[in-house]
Amino acid sequence: MDAIEAQDAGVASPPTAEEVASGDAVRNLLASLLSRWAAELGASRAALFLTRQGSLLRSVRVGHLHATAAPGPSPPVGEPGDEVDCGDGVCLVEEAVRCGRAVRGGVSQAPPDDRCGHVAAGSVLAVPVGAAPGVLGVVLLEAGPEHAFDDADLARAEEAVAEVEVVVELARVAEESLDRAREADAARMLLAEGSSADSIDAAARALATVARNALASDHVTIYLGSVADAKITHVDGVGVDPAYLALLRDYCVGRDPDEFEIWRATLRVAEPYFVEDARESDLLPADLVESLKLGSYSVLPLMSRSGPLGLVVCSHPKRSRHWSPIDRRIAEQLARQGSLVVENALLREAERRRVDELTYQAYHDPLTHLPNRAALFERLAQECARAERVGASFALLLLDVDDFKGINDTFGHFHGDQALRGVARRLQEAVRASDVAARLGGDEFAVLLTTGVDELDAVVRRLHGGLSEPLTIVGDTIHPRVSIGVAVAPVDGTEPDELYRCADGRMYREKAARARV
């Protein structure tokens, strides 16, 4: 709750559930209660401190409410959530928490500095909210030197503080409910964002996107490192200015992650790390902190079963930040779930690679890496369907290496395989990107000309000339020759098998004619 000024000294009505869930409504109500009691008891200032995780945090403060009270020195207005730190002095706020009952004192019992948020005053009254040991907070009333709180004031304050206890307890219940909802939303968002991640990059970006929203961070940056190379290989960001990101990439990519203490510290414990003021921490190099104008940050590790993969850093340039208990819980939850998202992404990535590999094997010839018979006939069927639909023409060319058995018998199978690879390479270089060159098996190849059928004769001459060029294999010269048969759709047919039979027949007739010559 932020520090606010009182806006109404009248009697407050009980809050509704919706009002309790609203931080502003709770603060206004508490300020109204404090201002009324301060006026009734002749106090010049009033403040409410709430206990949180073993610390006292100033929540609401009202001041100069009683016109007849001599105003004391104004306490400094700190950031919301300033911790009470009294040093070695006696602090009535802490004393009230410890003993669980109202305490009062004079100027000699007030600490000599302003670190508590209250200063030397004529009279100080601290009243606990709730009973020990579960004190929820303390109401602190201060009066000028001319006014001293008496026993009657103390009794009235103890009775009145029950109203604060009701509001604070309701606010805490509502806050806990909102915190649980915030945690649940973060978990749900990460599940939604990460469910489709199929790579480390995608998983890290999903975690960064959710962390930015859940932790209300200005910037979120991603750092991935290669375990094998001991290098930072990838830097990315969500909500990051391109110039900021470019500076990070220039500074980090290619460097050993162990050069950064933040990397070692975070991945050593495999848990989130929190820095409230980057300038006071040695986890990042001082020159990088200065270049980025970095104020505060939290670090979430990216882990897999095989080890650390990188970091996700949620940061705030130019300002420090108190990372609250709920911030820390959400970060820890996201780090745990993020590891699952990363692990699932690794599995999907491996599965995708395996599917891609199997698909490639199913549609490519292992010797020449050209598309195989299955790939050719699948594409041929597509072209036949297109020809029937729009009346387009295309050509199927079948090619056979003449006397390939003689190459194997004369030079051996190694030379035969290399000859086939040489023919395949030249064939691929001779066709356009829109055409398909394939190996059907043995010494048989094919070319599917999807366009430019009017240039068919020139294509056939170019193939005859290019594929007949000598091949040098391990010092031996081989002179391959090919026979080519052509079928044109729709003139020679509109079905794949029909076109194949036509081209095959013409190829073997050309081969037979060559043999007779």
Residue pLDDT, tens place only, 252-290 = 899 888 888 888 888 778 889 899 999 888 888 888 888
Classify residue 10: in a domain, yes or no. Answer: no
Residue pLDDT, tens place only, 142-167 = 887 777 788 888 888 888 788 888 87
Expressed in angstroms, the distance from the first to the final Cα of the chain is 100
Residue pLDDT, tens place only, 325-343 = 889 999 999 988 888 888 8
Residues 27 and 171 in one domain: yes
Last residue of a domain, one of 329, 355, 381: 355
What is the token pair recorded at 62?
């009202």
Q: What is the pLDDT of residue 98?
A: 83
Residue 441 belongs to domain with CATH number:
3.30.70.270
What is the side-by-side strand order in the sheet with 231-238?
Answer: 231-238, 219-226, 307-317, 294-304, 273-275
d(CA 443, CA 186) in angstroms, rounded, equals 60
d(CA 219, CA 245) in angstroms, rounded, equals 10
Residues 102 and 216 in one domain: no
Classify residue 363: in a domain, yes or no. Answer: no
pLDDT band for position 80 (cuts 50, 70, 90) = very low
Reduced to 3 states (helix: H, G, I; strand: E, B; else coil), residue 222 is: strand
Q: How far is CA 509 from CA 335, 483, 505, 517, in A?
A: 70, 9, 6, 12
d(CA 443, CA 159) in angstroms, rounded, equals 102
Looking at 210-271, which runs of residues are DSSP E strands?
219-226, 231-238
Residues 235 and 314 in one domain: yes
Residues 165 and 66 in one domain: yes
Residue 160 belongs to what H/E stretch? helix 151-194
Provide the domain count of the chain: 3
DSSP-derived letter for residue 257 is G
Residue that is written with structure tokens 């010092």 in the block: 475
Residues 304 and 379 in one domain: no
Residues 163 and 212 in one domain: no
Classify residue 443: in a domain, yes or no. Answer: yes
- Bridge partners of 61? 47
Residue 47 belongs to domain with CATH number:
3.30.450.40
Exposure letters 180-202 (e unless 16+ CB within 10 A, then b): eebbeebbebbeebbeebbebbb
- The rounded mean pLDDT for the chain is 80
- Bridge partners of 282? none
Angle at 23 between CA 22 and CA 24, to 5 degrees: 95
Residues 158 and 211 in one domain: no
Last residue of a domain, one of 321, 355, 389: 355
Q: Is the pLDDT of residue 113 over 50?
A: no
* DSSP-H helix ranges across 364-403: 373-390
The answer to whether the Cα torsion of 413, 417, 422, 427 is positive or negative is positive
Residues 428 and 454 in one domain: yes
d(CA 120, CA 109) in angstroms, rounded, equals 8
Residues 298 and 418 in one domain: no
3-state secondary structure 122-152: CEEEEEEECCCCCCCEEEEEEECCCCCCCHH
Which range among 76-80, 239-243, 413-417 shows the weakest confidence by mean pLDDT? 76-80
With a CB cutoff of 8 Å and minimum separation 6, the contacts of 36 are 9, 10, 11, 12
pLDDT band for position 70 (cuts 50, 70, 90) = very low
Residues 339 and 426 in one domain: no
Residues 205 and 122 in one domain: no
Which range among 25-34, 309-318, 486-495 shows the weakest confidence by mean pLDDT? 25-34
d(CA 402, CA 485) in angstroms, rounded, equals 13
27, 123, 44: which is closest to 81 by C-alpha? 27
Residues 202 and 123 in one domain: no
Q: Is the pLDDT of residue 460 over 80?
A: yes
Residue that is written with structure tokens 């670090």 in the block: 299
**Structural domain containing residue 124:** 17-175
Q: What is the mean pLDDT of residues 362-378?
A: 95
Reduced to 3 states (helix: H, G, I; strand: E, B; else coil), residue 282 is: coil
3-state secondary structure 33-75: HHHHHHHHHCCCEEEEEEEECCEEEEEEEEECCCCCCCCCCCC
Q: Are 378 and 438 in contact (CB under 8 A)?
A: no
Classify residue 492: in a domain, yes or no. Answer: yes
What is the token pair recorded at 157?
């304050």
